[in-house]
Structure 1
Amino acid sequence: MRFIRTRTAKATAATLVTVPLALGGLAAQSHAQDASPSPSGTFGPGCSALAQKANTAKDKVVEAAAAYPQLSHLVSATVRAKLSGALDGKPNVTIFAPNDQAFQQASASQLASLLSNQGQLKKVLTYHIVAKQITPDALAKGSFTTVEGGKLTTSGSGTEFKVNGKAKIVCGNIKAANATIYVIDAVLRPPS
């Protein structure tokens, strides 16, 4: 009987210590989620849904993008436009990468027309690239010149940002060896 009381007392004491520790851990996690994104971490409402095959921080940008199944249309278009070598050779670029859903918003004829015209495809794709590294803190009221030569703007705060006032950044600050990737939900059109 004495052995049972001792075991019960130890189990109760362990529970009393564990519950506050677990609650403290939950409070810390809750607070961390409310904080603004750190320049070293990914952010955005779509990051958890963005399936990734491997860590891409050591990969050149095209290989890094290829690790994400949701960027397969972009990778295919980049290869078709013969931009892979040029992108992988540039240091510290930022790519506003349209996901597959963004490409699917175009009609089949619009997409076929774009993919069959290498010059136009290259123009559209290079409009999504900025030849410098853009950190999340620069997105609030950003204005950047793209590789295509046009201007691209960013706006927002916290973890919600838009590009050119319409494309949402669904997952941002993904690192590659020579680039930072911001996945967006629309294909951007360069100014005429």
Structure 2
Amino acid sequence: MRKITRTTGLAAMALTLSLGLAACGNEDDDSSASETSSSASESPMESESMESTPMESESTMTEGSAAAAPFGEGCAAVPTEGAGSVDSMATKPVATAASENPLLTTLVAAVGKAGLVDTLNSAEALTVFAPTDDAFAQIPKKDLNALLKDKKALTEVLTHHVVAGQLGPDEVGGEHETLAGDTIEVMGEGEAWTVGDEKAAVLCGNIPTANATVYVIDSVLMP
């Protein structure tokens, strides 16, 4: 009888110890699982918070850059670097900047013949609608030569292409008084604009210079 009682007592102690260890093990497992679960639930929120701000900042910068950039298919003909490039023109007054642009050699010659270089370069803020060489080539050669020799008429034609203020794409639309004292109307939206009664198309718009904004157009505007 004593042997049976003693054996039974030892078995009971062993069972109790085993259950206790198992319980401790379960508690440790539960604690680890709880910590892991808590960490997992916090990490995505922290990651999302860290990633969202740079994405918003990048979007804002992109929109700002796009708003300031020149636009139009004709901009592909503007040099990408060096003299005549957008970066180079932005540092020089408008008549000097135009003299570097390969699209505007006839206009630059006409400005020189009319004696308007200093007038344009010293102005505080202008918008210039600048006809390309191809635009001047549309005028019969005899008529163009006559115009280039008539300083008064040439000045009137050239100043008809210039308005006060540096007008961006959000301001250029509408009717504007020119330096010639008459008016021109600019119509359109986005990147599609026409200028004057001739409906001259803007080929490359919103080109910055030190004191002006230039819109390269495909026709010469007549007063």
TM-score normalised by structure 1 residue count: 0.76
Q: Is the 8 A contact 1:39 1:137 kept in 2?
A: no
Query: 2:196 corresponds to which residue?
Result: 164
| Distance across 1 between alignment mates of 2:101 and 2:67 | 21
Stretches of 4+ moved more than 6 A in 1? none
Secondary structure of the corresponding residue to residue 202 of structure 2: strand
Q: Are 2:214 and 1:186 aligned?
A: no
How many residue pairs align between the two structures? 155
1:145 partner amino acid: E
User: Gaps (5+ residues) in structure 2?
Assistant: 1-61
Once the two structures are superposed, what CA deviation does each residue of 1:17-49 show, in whole Å capped at 9, x if it has no partner?
xxxxxxxxxxxxxxx8xx9x9441100121112
Q: Deviation at 1:67?
A: 1.3
2:176 partner amino acid: F
Secondary structure of the corresponding residue to residue 137 of structure 1: coil
User: Gaps (5+ residues) in structure 1?
Assistant: 1-31
- For residues 38-77 of structure 1, the aligned pairs below 5 Å read 38-51=66-79, 53=83, 54=85, 55-77=88-110
Q: Is the 8 A contact 2:127 2:166 kept in 1?
A: yes
Q: 1:143 aligns with which of 160, 166, 175?
A: 175
Secondary structure of the corresponding residue to residue 59 of structure 1: coil
Q: Are 2:125 and 1:128 aligned?
A: no
- For residues 79-98 of structure 1, the aligned pairs below 5 Å read 79-98=112-131
State the structure with more CA Rg. Answer: 2
Q: Is the 8 A contact 1:170 1:183 kept in 2?
A: yes
Percent of aligned positions that are identical = 39
Q: Is the 8 A contact 1:39 1:173 kept in 2?
A: no
Q: Which has the higher helix share?
A: 2
- Structure with the greater relative contact order (CA < 8 A, sep ≥ 6): 1 or 2? 1
1:68 partner amino acid: N
Secondary structure of the corresponding residue to residue 185 of structure 2: strand
Q: Is the 8 A contact 1:39 1:135 kept in 2?
A: no
| Distance across 1 between alignment mates of 2:119 and 2:105 | 18
Q: Deviation at 1:132?
A: 1.2
